[in-house]
Amino acid sequence: MPVLALVSAVVFLTVEQYVEWKYGIAGIVGLLLLTVGIKANSPGVSSAGAVLLALLLARPAL
């Protein structure tokens, strides 16, 4: 069990650093909103985070 927690923490930190490097502060805010919304079972907050991340990902195509 501790190994699973360690691996998941490493994966989360790696994803967080990649999003910050690629998309800046707005990417971190979107990821934070999505994570908090999922953990708090709040569809509005998680939807706001998902929309922000989707806009950041779609920005080069627009």
Q: Give the model's pLDDT for residue 44.
A: 93
Q: Give the model's pLDDT for residue 1.
A: 66
Residues 6 or more apart whose CB falls under 8 angstroms from that of 45 comprise 33, 36, 37
| pLDDT score of 59 more than 70 | yes
pLDDT in tens, 4-30: 888 888 888 888 888 878 878 888 898
